[in-house]
Amino acid sequence: MDLDRVMASVKNCSLHILSTLIVSLALVGCTSSATAPSEAIPSDSVPSETPPPDPASSSAPSESAVLAQSPTPRPATLVESLEHPWGLTWLPDGTVLVTERPGRLRIIKDGELDPPAVTGYHEEIDRWLGRLMEVSDPPQFAENQWVYFTYADGTGSANRTQVARARFDGSTLSDWQVIFEVNRTKSGTQHFGSRLVWLPDGTLLVSIGDGGNPPVELENDLIRNQAQNLSSHLGSLVRLNDDGSTPVDNPFTNVADADPAIWSYGHRNIQGVAIDSATGQVWATEHGSRGGDELNRIVAGENYGWPLVTHSREYSGGEISSERSRPGMVDPLVVWTPSIAPSGLAVYRGEQVPQWQGDLFAGGLVSQSIQQIKLDDSGTVVSQTPIDIGQRVRDVAQGPDGFIYVLTDESNGRLVRLEPG
């Protein structure tokens, strides 16, 4: 064998070894066990099933994101002894209001949890459903003292998400008013959605889940198909005035048979919504079933595809849809497979940590972590960094002091602050 042939053989062998090593490292980096998300299950238990590999996951948008190796923020526990907390908001005087899923509103002042729960809330919040969820105060709170809530109203066989408001005097709620309710009743305890976010024009966005998993039906069809029905609130974001009326400039106001409150549709179960205070862009995180959780950039009037287009699979492992994208429907910016069960979302615009400017912080129930998501100037995801919390993350919010705060959904739930590591 001449020298040139020997050198060529050595070169080919080296390239083969190098390629094998790269593939092996990639496989090690991508290996993970998957658990069906717990957002559809009212108890603390999570199904132990592990889905087969999703053939679409290699082409999912999040797979192109590079995991950043930046220093991880340090979670610091501020308050404990919260029973399955769900939502939080800050009043102008710095008081923090926290909802507990069994139907209580708690007060945190100067870092201390007041022992008694607030009185005067709606006595008909169903104790069997155990679903007091979001709390939010509008920008005009100092003038009108309104606090807004979402909760499950009804019974196990006929229930719906409602939005209500009440005046808060610092210790008691009064003048409770139901200002909106989903226009379809459903059975079971799944997919209530229920995040609230205020837009710069003073209107309110409300996330509504699709109603539940198979075999739950409505109108002789799987209830999840309501997400493609513009006459139904199920599987949508709705936009309301602060009194619950419908803004005249909503995108479907003049569309025949469409409900005028709908802002966007084709959603499965959004439990993370945030607005970027610098740009006005609305972001949402959405539960898939078995994998296929999503981060979406929300645009009024758009269809986000569920269940016609999805990266998600049935809990049984079967395919929900063979389509991952379709003209006229918005593709997710990020897809999480395996599922993180996203809940809670914040866009950082504080001054405490300048290097976090514009980052998204997305909570995960199953992952028990927060994904810190960095975007470039075009809005493309360039990195994701997992921040371990060690408990189910239910809500994420930026506080008025410029730190990120986290609620953990446990029987001994916590209020946690993320501090620079």
- What lies within 8 Å, CB to CB, of 223 at 6+ separation is 186, 210, 211, 212, 216, 217, 234
Element (H, E) at 4: helix 3-30
Check if the beta carbon of residue 329 is closer than 8 Å to that of residue 229. Answer: no
Cα dist from 17 to 8, 13, 21, whole Å: 14, 6, 6
How many other CB atoms are found less than 10 A from the CB of residue 186? 25
Look up residue 401 and give its two tokens.
């002091």
Report the alpha-carbon distance of residue 364 to residue 340 in Å, rounded.
Answer: 5
Which of 16, 84, 122, 191 is catalytic? The answer is 191
Report the alpha-carbon distance of residue 371 to residue 125 in Å, rounded.
Answer: 32
Single-letter amino acid code for the residue at 243 = D
Assess whether 191 carries a catalytic annotation: yes
Kind of pairing, strands 112-113 and 381-388?
unpaired
- Helix, strand, coil percentages (3-state) for the chain, rounded to 5, are 10, 35, 50
Question: How far from chain centre, in Å, is Cα 348?
Answer: 16
Cα dihedral sign for 245, 247, 250, 252? Answer: positive
Q: How many angstroms separate the first and last alpha carbons of the chain? A: 60
- What lies within 8 Å, CB to CB, of 92 at 6+ separation is 141, 142
Q: 5 exposed, middle or buried (CB, 10 Å; 0-12, 13-18, 19+)?
A: exposed
Strand, coil or helix: 73? coil
Check if the beta carbon of residue 99 is closer than 8 Å to that of residue 414. Answer: no
Report the alpha-carbon distance of residue 195 to residue 271 in Å, rounded.
Answer: 6
The residues assigned a catalytic role are 191
